[in-house]
Amino acid sequence: MDFELLPNLVTFSPLGGVLFLLFLNSEKKNLIRWVALATSLITFGISIWMLMQFDANNPALQMVTNLSWIRIADWNISYYMGVDGLSILLILLTTFLTPISILSTWTAVEDRVKDFMIFFLMLEVGMLGVFMAQDLFLFYVFWEFTLVPMYFLIGIWGGPQRIYAAIKFFLYTMAGSLLMLLAILWLGINQGSFAVPTLIELGNIPLGIQTWLFLAFAIAFAIKVPMWPLHSWLPDAHVQAPTAGSVILAGVLLKMGTYGFLRFNLPLFPEASIKFAPMMAGLAVVGIIYGAIVSYYQQDIKKLVAYSSVSHLGFVMLGLFALNSQGIQGGILQMINHGLSTGALFLLVGMIYEQTHTRVFDVYGGLWKLMPVYGTVMLIVTLSSMGLPGLNGFVGEFTILLGAWGAGMPGEVLGSYWYAGLSAIGVILAAIYMLYMFQKIFLGPEGSIVETVKDAGHALRDLNAREIITIAPLLVFIFWIGLYPKPFFALIAPAVNNLVEILQAAAMHLKYSL
């Protein structure tokens, strides 16, 4: 019986806003927006407070709340929440991106604003719950719950193909998570506990069964990440979702998949993880190259960004399945980086779309002269996304490549330098498609869109104050992580080293048993 207020407060504080919104007149759109923004800022504030209380040197779970929730027969499901180095940054990323996304909807969402904000704040609760939950069942409930608001966000406020995209998103994710549910039930019944720390301590699952359980969890998470070849829901969902939805989808929801691997697959099934590492890393490398090539051929800006996610998340997966400290730390940092950079890209795409109502490359070109501030911001974000040294993307990708290289040494988990070598090509490809996108929009002769917008009665304008405020915090972190990543690594390192120890013990165990 432990109770610590802070993590619960962070997770459920958005509900306070939801309750307040329920009683507001849905015609008072601006008031609704302010209430939602204020709520998400308060949540962000509390999460910063939580960060202050967080002891970075302690690898264990902190600020634990553990209450018995459902106790029947020999089951014991607990309300078990906590924070550690693996999740703290993702929690902060969630609370950080939510107010930014809400700010981005200020003029973009005019229809049913109240419902939109309610769903958005509920989504935040779900995501935070996923990152805090330490009981498999609680995790599953939060995990499934995030589907519901996102489904509505895409389906009601999305683009022309929104219904198809919403259903596809829902069914894909649910397909994976139902198999995970069976694995969770198996663990609960046979190991007698649903609490993750307890299960890690118990360990001792025969390799044959670990394999099945690993696969059941892995499919659920791989769909969410998404790993090639389970990625086909992603372009639809991203392109159809409203801007704020895309930001959260790319920024946080995809990370739930990689986080799942990190939190559950690696420590719960360490032997199976080692066995599957070459396969997972191989799929990750395929995803990196495939995502990059497909991105290059897109005619739609948002689709390009969506496919680039497949490539970037491939890096994260490669880092995680290098199964060493560098790889995993790089992977976690790259989750944050991707959230910042791709989140920013989606915001920027949304900002231009709001003015032009098209995202097809053909009509763009030469916007730099008309929109210098927008162009500058876009350039920074583009460079960050392709991994230019000095910006955040580089730090993450470089660390991952180091980890993958280390794991590629003879006798290590991956056992081949090819993984690191091929994924380095992905970095080059990223430069090609990202710069191609930048060039198409900003350089060259003026595109037809300038005329089209003029004909409609208003000229293209540069970013306004609200839009700059929306994007500026992201830029701060893009530079901060790029120039001085040490505090970020300091937060995650102890927990990662703890995880690596579990994996090393399992590797020893495997060698013995062979």
Partner 1 sequence: MIQFDINNLKPILPLIVLTVWAVALLLVDLFIPKERKGLTALLAAAGLALTIGFALAQTGQTGLGFNGMVVLDGFSTFLNVLLLVTGLMGISLAYGYLKRMGIERGEYYSLILFSIVGMMLMAQAADLIVVFIALELLSIPLYVLAAFANTNAASEEAGIKYFLLGAFSGGFVVYGIALVFGATQTTAIIEIAAAAQAGTANIPLMLAGSALIMVGFGFKVAAVPFHMWTPDVYQGAPTPVTAFMAAGAKIAGFAALMRVFSTAFPSLAADLTPVLAILAALTMIVGNVVAVAQTNVKRMLAYSSIAHAGYILMAFVAFGNPEVAPTAIAAGIFYLVTYAVTNFGSWGIVIALEEAEGKGLELDDYAGLGRKNPLMAAAMTVFMFSLAGIPPTLGLWGKIYLFSAVVAVDFYWLAIIGVLTSLISAFYYLRLVVIMYMKDGEPKTTSEWWLNLSWISMAAITVILSFIPAFLFGWASEAVMKLF
**Applying CB under 8 A, which of residues 59, 155, 270, 314 lies at the interface with partner 1?**
155
- Considering the complex, state which of residue 120 and residue 364 has its C-beta at the smaller distance from partner 1: 120
Stretch that binds partner 1, among 170-178, 368-376, 423-431, 477-485 (CB under 8 A): 170-178
Q: How far is CA 213 from CA 164, 209, 218, 266, 384, in A?
A: 31, 6, 8, 12, 37
CB of 51 to partner 1, least distance (A): 29
First to last CA, the chain: 42
**Applying CB under 8 A, which of residues 162, 224, 231, 302 lies at the interface with partner 1?**
162
CB of 145 to partner 1, least distance (A): 5
**Applying CB under 8 A, which of residues 54, 152, 233, 307 lies at the interface with partner 1?**
152
Distance between CA atoms of residues 443 and 410, nearest Å: 47
Q: Does 406 bind partner 1 (CB under 8 A)?
A: no
Distance between CA atoms of residues 444 and 382, nearest Å: 18
CB of 240 to partner 1, least distance (A): 12
- Considering the complex, state which of residue 147 and residue 292 has its C-beta at the smaller distance from partner 1: 147
Residue 420 amino acid letter: A
CB of 182 to partner 1, least distance (A): 5
CB of 211 to partner 1, least distance (A): 14
Tell me, letter by letter, the H, E, C secondary structure of 368-426.
Answer: CCCCHHHHHHHHHHHHHHHCCCCCHHHHHHHHHHHHHHHHCCCCCCCCCCHHHHHHHHH
Q: Does 466 bind partner 1 (CB under 8 A)?
A: no
CB of 424 to partner 1, least distance (A): 39
Q: Does 331 bind partner 1 (CB under 8 A)?
A: no
Q: What angle do CA 431, 385, 261 make, to 5 degrees?
A: 115
CB atoms within 10 A of CB 260: 24
Cα dihedral 260→264→270→272 (10° resolution): -70
- Strands, E, within 182-278: which ranges? none
Q: Does 156 bind partner 1 (CB under 8 A)?
A: yes
If we measure between CA atoms, which residue out of 502, 214, 489, 116 comes closest to residue 330? 489
Contacts of residue 199, defined as CB under 8 A and 6 or more positions apart, other chains included, come to 136, 187, 191, 193, 268
Q: Does 175 bind partner 1 (CB under 8 A)?
A: yes
- Considering the complex, state which of residue 182 and residue 469 has its C-beta at the smaller distance from partner 1: 182
CB atoms within 10 A of CB 461: 12
Residues 179-198 that bind partner 1 (CB under 8 A): 179, 181-182, 185-186, 188-189
CB of 21 to partner 1, least distance (A): 13
**Hey, is 62 helix, strand or coil?**
strand
CB of 72 to partner 1, least distance (A): 5
**Applying CB under 8 A, which of residues 171, 279, 425, 459 lies at the interface with partner 1?**
171
CB atoms within 10 A of CB 245: 30
Q: Does 12 bind partner 1 (CB under 8 A)?
A: no
Token pair for 13: 């504080």
- Considering the complex, state which of residue 23 and residue 512 has its C-beta at the smaller distance from partner 1: 23
Q: Does 166 bind partner 1 (CB under 8 A)?
A: yes
C-alpha torsion sign, points 407, 413, 416, 419: negative
Site string for partner 1, 121-150 (x = CB under 8 A): --------------------x--xx-xx--
Contacts of residue 308, defined as CB under 8 A and 6 or more positions apart, other chains included, come to 291, 292, 295, 342, 345, 385, 430, 433, 434
Size of interface with partner 1, in residues (CB under 8 A): 31
Q: Does 120 bind partner 1 (CB under 8 A)?
A: no
Q: Does 346 bind partner 1 (CB under 8 A)?
A: no
Site string for partner 1, 57-76 (x = CB under 8 A): ------------xxxxx-x-
C-alpha torsion sign, points 431, 436, 441, 444: positive
Quote the DSSP letter at residue 362: G
Q: Does 113 bind partner 1 (CB under 8 A)?
A: no
**Applying CB under 8 A, which of residues 9, 31, 174, 293 lies at the interface with partner 1?**
174
CB of 170 to partner 1, least distance (A): 6
Instruction: Please state whether beta strands 62-70 and 77-83 pair in parallel, antiparallel, or not at all (unpaired).
Output: antiparallel
Q: Does 178 bind partner 1 (CB under 8 A)?
A: yes
Q: Does 19 bind partner 1 (CB under 8 A)?
A: no
Site residues for partner 1 per CB under 8 A: 69-73, 75, 141, 144-145, 147-148, 151-152, 155-156, 162-163, 166-167, 170-171, 174-175, 178-179, 181-182, 185-186, 188-189
